[in-house]
Amino acid sequence: MKMTLIQHFKELKKRIIYSLVFFVAAFALGLYIAPALSDLIVAPLLNVWDNPTLIYTGIADGLMVQFSLAGFFALFVSIPVILWHIWGYSAPALKKNEKRILLPILIMSPMLFAAGAAFAYFVLLPIMFGFFIDIAADNAQMMPNFKNYLAFSVNLLRAFGLAFQFPLIMVLLNRAGVVSKKQVLSKGRYIVVGVFILATVLTPPDILSQILLALPLLVLFGLSLFFMV
C-alpha cells in the first residue's frame, strides 16, 4: 500500500528514534565496560613494550578517554542497526533489481569495516608500535599520553575500516552502470597509484603503515573484479 507524505515522515522519525535509542544504550554500555575497552585498545602496545608507561596530562583526561571509548564502541555496534533501518525505510521504494544490488552491499559494508579495523588492530598496530619503540632514543624514557594514543589508534582503526569499503564502492559503481569491468581493467595502473595515494592520506606519515594498508586494498580490488559485469 502506498504511503502518504505524512506517513513517510512518521516512519522516518520512528526509525531515527529507534537508532538513537540503540546508540544511547550502546553508549551507556560502553561507559560501563570502559575499563575493559581501555585494556583492549592498549593491548597492541603492551604486547611489544616491556616497560609500558601511559600518562594523563590533563586532570579530566581519564574521563574524556572513557567517553571517547564509549562513543567509538556505540558507533561501531550501532552501524549495523542504522543500516538495517535505512534498508527498512528505503526498501519498499526500490525495484527488485535495485534490492538485489543494495542489500548485499548493506550486509557486507559493516563486515568489511570490521575486517579493516581488525586488520589494523592485529597486524598494523603491533608492527607500527614495535617500530616506533625500536627507533626511540636509548637515553629517553617513552611515556605516551593516553589521550593522544587513543586518538591515534582509533583514527587508524576507523581509517582502515573505511578504506576496506573500497571494493564495495567499485562494485556499486559498476552495477549502477557508471563504470564497466573493461574500463576498470584498462585503468588498472591508475587505480593502483590511487590506492597508494589513498593509503598515504588515511595513515600516519610512515611508509610501513601506508604499504600495509595499500596491499590488502589491492587484494580487495582484485576480488571486486569477480563481481563486476
Half-sphere exposure of 206 (CA within 13 A, CB side): 13
Instruction: Give per-residue pLDDT as tens, 160-173.
Output: 888 888 888 888 88
b/e per residue, 151-171, with b = 16+ CB within 10 A? ebbbebbbbbbebbbbbbebb
Cell of 104: 548485499
pLDDT for res 77: 93
Show me where the domains of the chain are located: 5-164
Neighbours of 199 (CB within 10 A): 23
pTM over the 0.75 mark: yes
Runs of H (alpha helix) within the chain: 5-32, 34-46, 61-90, 96-119, 125-135, 146-163, 166-175, 181-186, 188-202, 207-224
Q: Per-residue pLDDT for 142 more than 80? A: no
Q: What is the mean pLDDT of residues 19-38?
A: 95
